[in-house]
Chain A
Amino acid sequence: MSVKTPEDGTIRAMVAPDPTHPRIGFTERRLANGLRVIVAPDHLVPVVAINLWYDVGSKHEAPGRTGFAHLFEHFMFQGSAHVAKAEHMSIVQGSGGVCNATTWFDRTNYFETLPSNQLELGLWLEADRLATLLDALSQENLDNQREVVKNEKRQSYDNQPYGSFYEKLMAAVYPPGHPYHHTPIGSMADLDAASLADVTAFFRTYYAPDNAVLTIVGDVEEETAFAAVERWFGPIPASGASRRFVAPVTPAQIGTRLRETVPDAVPLVRIHFGWRTVPFGTSAFDALEVATQILAGGQGSRLYRHLVRERQIAQDVSLFSMPLVAGAALLAGWVTVRPEADPADVEAAFLAEMEQVTREPVTADELLRAHALIESSELSALGRVEEVADRLGMYATLFDRPELINEQLGRYLAVGADDVLAASAATFREDNLAVITYVPREGESAQADAA
């Protein structure tokens, strides 16, 4: 198995595994058609998680065709040669399972969790839509799903206070033309322009066994699972389509401080921040995750303690990374300003904390607490079959290294104060920041009327 060099060229720290941490035992094989298959038995509960990562996300979309990867995800539930329109979900649920799919910048994943005696059914459903989706594609389906997606956008973004921050932040942190400049929901105008021919071409390019990782985790025997995969997916031909994605060369920093003010139907001012970072998968990104934990990871974190608890100028604070791999990723945060506080003062106080970690090392106690919380959070995630399946698919797809599932926690625990300092100093800079401030629209005052 090949090991990719991380994008920033750094050498990964090799961390000795903690013997008290349970290891996820898994086996990996590749079918003749290129499908990568990973199986990890876990017999605690009689369920099985099936998870397919297709190496296609919104970053692969062409200009004028944004939102396609996500629209396409909807078609995958609209039927195939042997499954009727909208029947996929009802077969899964009617067999005692749950399923869904999500579209992200770097990939699209499809997953179901079923009673373990229904493994074959889940594989059949996934194989049928991979092999025969185009049989069921129609103009009527296209029109209907366009409407569903528009409603999804209205509900999830347009009709939510602060709901446009995600689109605005990505557009600010990445330049026009960059694959991360637009979000997976895309442009509704682009969706309106989508034709059946576009959708067909998209499917033929990206939906192929040689562009996917299939992971099975749960109450299964390894050989039974591999045999079942071979039975259902083995006969599907590889596509051999060319789909080379080249991450654009992206400067390490935005290059300036961007600022935008957005009047919205909001009661409290909220200031959003975005920084461009090194990509997910690098040791510097791990260090930023630890910095994030120390800055805003809980009630003991610096931002919470100083802005929310002590100065009482913030209603809430948040900081989170977006684990992207194409040349650069993103760290985002926000602070909601208490009504009596001055937004400029709150912004300055937030940024002062961000600057502080670039100047002085975090304390040994802060590091210890961050490590302990990250450890518990990782152990919790690795105790759920769905999460294990998704992570194995992620590590295999993005890094060609599913074994990262047993290494990532150790990598976080190996982050030292000097690593946090260096990664912070490279990220939290004057010339690498987008600030988007939501302010109550003129005449907007929110009172909670009970009808």
Chain B
Amino acid sequence: MSGPAILAHRPSAGPARPYHFPGFRRTRLDNGLTVIAADVPSRPLMAAALLLPGGAGHEPARLAGVSLLAARALSEGTRRRDAVAFIEASERLGASLGASCDWEMLSLSVTVPRGRLEPALELLGEMLREPAFPAQEVDRLREQRLNELLQAAAQPGRRAERAFLARIYDAASPFARPLGGDEETVPRLDRAELVARHEAHLDPAQATLILAGDMEGLDPVAIAEARFGAWRAAAAVPGAALAPVPAEPATGARGTVVVDRPASPQSEVRIGHVGLRRRIPDYHATIVLTTMLGGLFNSRLQRLLREEKGYTYHVGASFDFRRSPGPFAVRTAVQSEVTAPAVAEALGVLRRLRSDPPTPAELSDAREFLIGVFPLRFESPEQVAGAIAGLVAQDLPDDELDRYRPSVAAVTASDVVAAAGHVHPDEAAVVLVGDAERVVPDLETAGLGPVQVVPAA
């Protein structure tokens, strides 16, 4: 041992400083719009998000991708100004303004220096209530989306992800397809479909406005009232007529699939199955489990596949929690010649989850990690607004984020073992993108066959 003597003494932690997620409160305007304001003192930027219900998970199957395309087209001009004029107006404010959608919601958002919040909200309101959806811009965005699909197919990780979701979900589930639709559905999307999609959700009583930032001297409710108070739904908004997210999507196929990509130096690997909804009683135990399994640098999967075997640069595992069950997946990329042993080892780690309870160190590392990094996610107004939007999307109570740290701290080893019941290695699909000629014989020898090969295009 060398070095200064003091280094032999690992320091212990000082007293932890308390942390609370920024307090926020809800107000309802007369038109039914819910307004949530969160104070993030001392930050020079402010963030606003206007959430509308109904995301890609609520689309009719034949129009998959309509929500994403509508979101992208929202900033392409309004009844008052064309696309270029609208974008330039936003840029003059230094605003980052746009719309996006996830499986649950459509979200219009802006981040802007504090002094320019009100003109930025004016643009956001214009985009919300008076979008023009110019046919020419819609047509271009549709072509760009189709080219995106082409590009994604050439990217092994994205190709693996898509093949994996198509494998584990029944074709009737929206989760079987990319969030932005696929080659079959995107060509159907035109201006009329986008307009119909947007208008179907345009109801203040179903919408939420979130404002986050330094609230000193600001009255967020008055700001919201001035900008959105006069908004009324055009007519009865048929929100309930939307295709609901299936409560329990039927589980698709298992087995092993290799999407052939000849001469690949690595295989992209996905192992998993349909997972969990966000609102489950043992959510916190489950994230402690996946953190121990594949969320930490020193997770069980990383220790074995990266540090001991040198098969990969990184391996992770997680549940994607949605309103209805999203996927559970182990994700990695391994060098081609060790593909079969890497898959076998990963499945072995999953099988041992139920038999090998977390060691005290594993449990403590996973809990401390989740508790410690929690505040780091909320440094900026944009992050705070995003976290509150997540509560709205998942229909979680307002105190969910404040209860997060104590709930994680309370997770025990037996809670983790119980949560391991959510992982089903024997029902998992194994989906690979790689060089079939090199990897298939090894997979069969390793007992991972029969292997379905999707030929190279």
Q: Which residues of A contact B (CB under 8 A)?
A: 20-22, 44-47, 80-82, 85-87, 89-90, 93-98, 113-121, 123-124, 127-128, 131-132, 134-135, 144, 147-148, 150-152, 154-156, 158-161, 219, 231-232, 235-236, 265-268, 298-300, 305, 308-309, 312, 315, 336, 338-339, 365, 368-369, 372-373, 375-376, 379-380, 383-385, 445-451
Q: Judge whether A158 and B265 touch: CB under 8 Å.
A: yes
The answer to whether A446 and B166 have CB atoms under 8 Å apart is: no
B427 to chain A, nearest CB (A): 17
CA A89 – CA B454 in complex, angstroms? 39
Within B55-110, the residues touching A (CB, 8 Å) are: 75, 83-84, 87-88, 90-96
CB neighbours of A232 from chain B (8 A)? 6-7
A372–B11 Cα gap in the complex (Å)?
Answer: 45
Nearest-neighbor residue (CB-CB) of B156 within chain A: A159
CA distance A258 to B149 in the complex (A): 32
Binding site for A on B (CB under 8 A): 1-8, 10-19, 40-45, 75, 83-84, 87-88, 90-96, 111-113, 115, 137, 140, 143-144, 147-156, 159, 162-163, 166-167, 176-177, 182-183, 257, 259, 261, 264-266, 268, 296-298, 303, 306-307, 310-314, 333-335, 361, 364-365, 368-369, 371-373, 375-376, 378-380, 382, 431, 452, 454, 457
Query: Chain A contacts of B376 at CB under 8 A?
Result: 45, 47, 98, 113
Contact present for B373 and A96 (CB under 8 Å): yes
Complex contact B183–A448 (CB within 8 A): yes
- Given A94-B296, A116-B17, A265-B154, 9 new contacts (CB under 8 A): A22-B42, A46-B16, A120-B11, A128-B7, A151-B311, A236-B3, A308-B140, A379-B113, A448-B182
The CA-CA distance from A152 to B313 in the complex, in Å, is 5
Q: Which residues of A contact B7 (CB under 8 A)?
A: 81-82, 124, 127-128, 131-132, 232
Tell me, rounded to whole Å, the shortest Cβ–Cβ distance linking A373 to chain B: 6
**Are A47 and B375 touching (Cβ within 8 A)?**
yes
Which residues of chain A are within 8 angstroms of B303 by Cβ–Cβ distance? 86
Q: Which of the residues B96, B149, B257, B264 comes within 8 Å of A451, measured between beta carbons?
A: B257
Residues of B within 8 A of A375 (CB): 94, 113
Task: List residues of chain B with CB within 8 A of the CB of A147.
Answer: 310
Q: Which of B12, B94, B176 lies in contact with A376, CB distance below 8 A?
A: B94
**Complex: how many Å from CA A86 to CA B298?**
7
Q: How far is the CB of B38 from chain A (nearest CB, A)?
A: 13
List, sorted by A's number, 16 A–B pairs whose CB atoms are closer than 8 Å. A20-B115, A44-B40, A82-B10, A96-B372, A97-B369, A144-B310, A151-B313, A151-B333, A267-B151, A300-B88, A315-B144, A315-B151, A375-B94, A376-B45, A380-B382, A448-B162
Contact indicator B149/A93 (Cβ below 8 Å): no
The answer for the CA separation of A448 and B369 in the assembled complex, in Å, is: 38
Report if A219-B17 is in contact (Cβ < 8 Å); known contacts: A338-B147, A446-B457, A451-B257: yes
Q: Are A86 and B264 in contact (CB under 8 A)?
A: no
Identify which of A95, A135, A265, A451 contacts B454 (C-beta below 8 A). Answer: A451
In whole Å, how far is B130's beta carbon from the nearest beta carbon of chain A? Answer: 19
Q: Taking each of B10, B11, B182, which has the highest tally of chain A beta carbons within 10 Å of its own beta carbon? A: B11
B379 is contacted by which of A45, A95, A315, A339 (Cβ under 8 Å)? A45
Measured CB to CB, the nearest residue on chain B to A369 is B91
Q: Is the interface of B mostly helix, strand, loop or mixed?
A: mixed
A384 to B143, CA, bound (A): 37
Bound together, the chains give a CA A300 to CA B335 distance in angstroms of: 42
- Report whether B266 and A383 are in contact in the complex, using a CB–CB cutoff of 8 Å: no
The distance in angstroms between the C-alpha atoms of A236 and B7, with both chains bound, is: 10
**B379–A384 CB distance below 8 A:** yes
Q: Which residues of B contact A98 (CB under 8 A)?
A: 373, 376
> B4 touching A235 by the CB < 8 A rule?
yes
**A450 B182 Cβ-Cβ under 8 A:** yes
| Given A152-B313, A155-B333, A309-B140, CB of A372 within 8 Å of CB of B154 | no
Q: Which of A117, A161, A338 contacts B143 (CB 8 A)?
A: A338
Pick the residue among A47, A121, A336, A338 that contacts B10 (CB under 8 A): A121
Contact (A46, B17) CB under 8 Å given A114-B372, A300-B87: yes
User: Chain A's nearest CB lies how many Å from the CB of B216?
Assistant: 13
Query: What B residues does A120 contact at CB under 8 A?
Result: 11, 14
Among the interface residues B2, B95, B148, which one has the most CB atoms of the partner chain A within 10 A? Answer: B2
Question: Nearest residue in B to A372 (C-beta to C-beta)?
Answer: B94
Q: Which residues of B contact A97 (CB under 8 A)?
A: 369, 372-373
Partner of A450, one of B5, B113, B148, B166: B166
Closest 5 CB pairs of A and B: A96-B372, A372-B94, A235-B4, A94-B365, A90-B298
Q: Flag if B113 contacts A376 (CB, 8 Å).
A: yes
Nearest-CB distance from B228 to chain A (Å)?
A: 23
B contact residues around A115 at 8 Å (CB): 13, 16-17, 372, 375
Cβ-defined contact, A128 with B3, below 8 A: yes
Contacts of B177 in A (CB 8 A): 450
Q: A95-B372, A267-B153 are in contact. Are A45 and B19 (CB under 8 A)?
A: yes
Known: A115-B16, A448-B153, A451-B166. A45 touches B378 (CB 8 A): yes
**Residue in A46, A155, A446 whose CB lies within 8 Å of B18:** A46
Q: Which residue of B8, B176, B310 has the most chain A CB atoms within 10 A of its CB atom?
A: B310
Give min CB distance, A291 to chain B, whole Å: 16
Residue of A21, A47, A449 with most partner-chain B CB within 10 A? A449
Distance in Å: Cβ of B252 to nearest Cβ of chain A? 10
Q: Are B368 and A95 in contact (CB under 8 A)?
A: yes
Assess A131 versus B91: contact at CB under 8 Å? Given A44-B41, A94-B368: no
- Say yes or no: A151 contacts B111, CB within 8 Å: no
> Inside 8 A of A151's CB, which chain B residues have their CB?
266, 310-313, 333-335
Inter-chain contacts of A312 with B (CB < 8 A): 140, 143
Considering the complex, give the chain B residue whose CB is closest to the CB of A450. Answer: B166
Nearest residue (CB) in A for B314 is A155
Q: Which of A44, A144, A154, A369 contacts B42 (CB 8 A)?
A: A44
Cβ-neighbour of A266 out of B154, B156, B372 (below 8 A): B154
Tell me the minimal C-beta distance from B306 to chain A in angstroms: 6
B92 touches A369 (CB 8 A): yes
A86, A219, A448: the one contacting B159 at CB < 8 Å is A448
- Judging by beta carbons under 8 Å apart, are A96 and B369 in contact? yes
Q: Judging by beta carbons under 8 Å apart, are A155 and B257 in contact?
A: no
**CB–CB B361/A94 < 8 A:** yes
Q: Which of A44, A81, A124, A154 contacts B1 (CB 8 A)?
A: A81
